[in-house]
């Protein structure tokens, strides 16, 4: 990924984290990495343990940012979430998978779309 893409992704994740905090979420981990990939944000929303994928774009040329969360990506996120749950002994938790779509309008403003419970685990 280019440096511009990394910066755009980081900017989107920062905006998403701020948005989540404003909605009462408790951010537990950002950029949880394993060999097979990473989960952008792991948070608590009341009783829910939430695994959140953030997709950021500058335009709609290639569609909405959330459309980039393919079945392959969902499967990858699911496997990494299972790793997190196992390592932290959280098997009794209610779990969901959210996607946050960030469409940058300028360096300081963005449209944020939060899609709670967007997909189910695919293992």
pLDDT-derived band at 27 (thresholds 50, 70, 90) equals: very high
Question: What is the average pLDDT score of the chain?
Answer: 92
Smallest Cα–Cα separation from 36: which of 85, 2, 1, 81? 81
In this structure, of 32-41, 58-67, 92-101, the range with the lowest mean pLDDT score is 58-67
CATH architecture of 3-119: 3-Layer(aba) Sandwich (3.40)
> Domain map of the chain by residue range?
3-119
pTM: 0.91
Radius of gyration of the chain (CA): 14
pLDDT attached to residue 8? 87
pLDDT band for position 42 (cuts 50, 70, 90): very high
Q: Quickly state the pLDDT bin for 5 (edges 50, 70, 90).
A: low
Bridge partners (DSSP) listed for residue 100: 54, 114
**pLDDT band at residue 38 using 50, 70 and 90 as cut-offs:** very high
Sheet containing strand 37-45, edge to edge, reads 26-34, 37-45, 48-57, 94-104, 110-119
């Amino acid at each position: 990924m280019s440096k511009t893409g990394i910066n755009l992704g980081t900017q989107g994740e920062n905006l998403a984290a701020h948005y989540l905090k404003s909605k009462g979420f408790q951010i537990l981990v950002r950029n949880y990495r394993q060999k097979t990939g990473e989960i952008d944000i792991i948070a608590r929303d009341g009783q829910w343990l939430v695994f959140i994928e953030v997709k950021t774009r500058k335009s709609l040329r290639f569609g909405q940012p959330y459309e980039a969360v393919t079945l392959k990506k969902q499967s990858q996120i699911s496997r990494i979430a299972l790793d997190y749950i196992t390592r932290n002994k959280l098997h009794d938790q209610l779990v969901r998978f959210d996607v946050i779509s960030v469409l940058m309008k300028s360096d300081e403003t963005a449209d944020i779309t939060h899609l709670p419970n967007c997909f189910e685990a695919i293992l």
